[in-house]
Amino acid sequence: MISRRKGRIARCSNRNSRNRIRDRNRNLKPCSKSYSGLSKLISLVMSTLMIPRYFNSVSTVSFSKREDPTDINDFTSYFINSLASLKSLTCLDLSFSGISDVLLYSIALDDLPLRKLVLQGCYNYTYTGISYLLSKCSSLQHLDLRYAVFLDDQRFNQLCPFLGDLVSINVGFCDKLTNSSFFALLTNCPLLAEISMESTNIGLGPTPSVLDLVVYPQVKSLHLAYNSHLHDNHINIFGFMFPNMQLIDLSFCRYIYQLAIAGLLKRCNKIRHLEFACFPQAKPFSINFEASNLEVLNLSHSTIDDEELYKISKIFPRLLQLDLGHCHDITDKGVRLAVENCTHLKEINL
């Protein structure tokens, strides 16, 4: 990683931040709290007997990456017992936990004011449980169902009418979802600004004709990496449908080429962030200054050389971040020329 500081480009290294768990039970205040792990939950449940007025104000609960070997039924029992006191709960993260439909039913029946629900990588629950919960959570704005392998187009289309208030959704790695699910989201979720469908089967199935295309000005971000069924014609459709798009991730989509990207950037001139790792061609952009407002560009794992990097730096002079990781044909000379042209550049990842 290279970082610009005080007018200079300095090399820096990536450091993995470590999560630190701090015990704040001694100093609970009436504000948002986050609890991780089953042992924290048990402690939290016990605390209701002593400080219920503080417990009632908890708005965020997280059991992400739960490693406790306790039986799922015990976990469900502990959590259900605490729900009655979590009347202010707006954010619930159960990532990578074993949960049950019974737990999802209980969350629904307690009528919590949930705004964000994260079930990324959860297991042992079914479509029946999540369908019932979503049918009762009319206020949900952010939903993460990554790795919900039971979802297919038919089931997902049945869920979409419950999601009218959604602002963002992540159904990455649900590999049975196709174009049908994508367009069902757009039709049923008028507030949807961010869609994540990485490693799905978007690109398969029919798409609307040009005459039937609808514009969705509220959509700002599309995360569609690792979708081998996406082709240039889909990108052309996106350019028409999402004129206010600011971020698009098409990394490792191997059948999208330079003309489609050029057309997209020209039509959607508000795009500031383009992720296009593993670009399949040596000449990435044969365009003039249509996309000069681009600020973040990821071309890692691409077959570009110094000459192409120089052209890119001339086309996108306002770049703040440039990712060239694993671009093995780029030398120090190419990097220096890019830095000279991109005077606002703060980071280069090599």
pLDDT in tens, 318-347: 999 999 999 999 999 999 999 999 999 999
The pLDDT tens digits of the residues spanning 5-15 come to 444 444 444 44
**Percentage, residues of the chain above pLDDT 70:** 76
Sign of CA dihedral 37, 42, 48, 50: negative
Average pLDDT over residues 240-260: 95
Arithmetic mean of pLDDT, 106-117? 93
Average pLDDT estimate for 129-139: 96
Instruction: Strands of 199-259 (E only): list them.
Output: 221-223, 247-249
Give the pLDDT confidence score for residue 42 in this predicted structure: 44
What's residue 288's pLDDT? 55
Pairing mode, if any, of strands 116-118 and 321-323? Answer: unpaired
The two tokens of residue 105 are 């039913």
Helix axes 101-109, 72-83, angle to 10 degrees: 0
Domain boundaries, the chain: 29-125
Of 53-57, 104-108, 256-260, the least confident: 53-57
If one counts every other C-beta atom within 10 angstroms of the C-beta of residue 128, the result is: 12
Q: pLDDT tier at 286 (50, 70, 90 boundaries)?
A: low
pLDDT at 48: 45
Q: Is 107 exposed, middle or buried (0-12, 13-18, 19+ CB in 10 A)?
A: buried
Query: Which pLDDT does position 80 carry in this prediction?
Result: 80
The listed range with the strongest mean pLDDT (94-108, 173-187, 294-308) is: 173-187
* pLDDT value at 157 more than 80: yes
The pLDDT of residue 291 is: 55
Crossing angle of helices 258-267/232-241, nearest 10°? 0
Written as six digits, the tokens of 114 are 């949930």
Closest CA to 103 of 124, 80, 78: 80
Q: Report d(CA 16, CA 70) in Å as an integer.
A: 29
Tell me the three state secondary structure of residue 47. helix
Nearest to 334 by CA among 314, 319, 72: 314
Beta-strand ranges (E) seen in the chain are 2-5, 8-11, 60-62, 91-93, 116-118, 142-144, 168-170, 194-196, 221-223, 247-249, 273-275, 296-298, 321-323, 347-349
Could you tell me if 331 and 306 are in contact, meaning their C-beta atoms sit under 8 angstroms apart? yes
Closest CA to 37 of 48, 26, 21: 21
Q: How confident is the model at residue 293 (pLDDT cuts 50, 70, 90)?
A: confident
Q: What's the pLDDT score for residue 45? A: 46
Instruction: Tell me how far apart the alpha carbons of residues 40 and 34 are, in angstroms, rounded to a whole number.
Output: 10
What pLDDT is attached to residue 65?
57
- Concatenate the DSSP letters of all residues of 140-202 into one string: --EEE-TT-TT--HHHHHHHGGG-TT-SEEE-TT-TT--HHHHHHHHHH-TT--EEE-TTS-T
Q: What is the pLDDT of residue 53?
A: 52
Full-model pTM: 0.83
Give the pLDDT of residue 268: 94
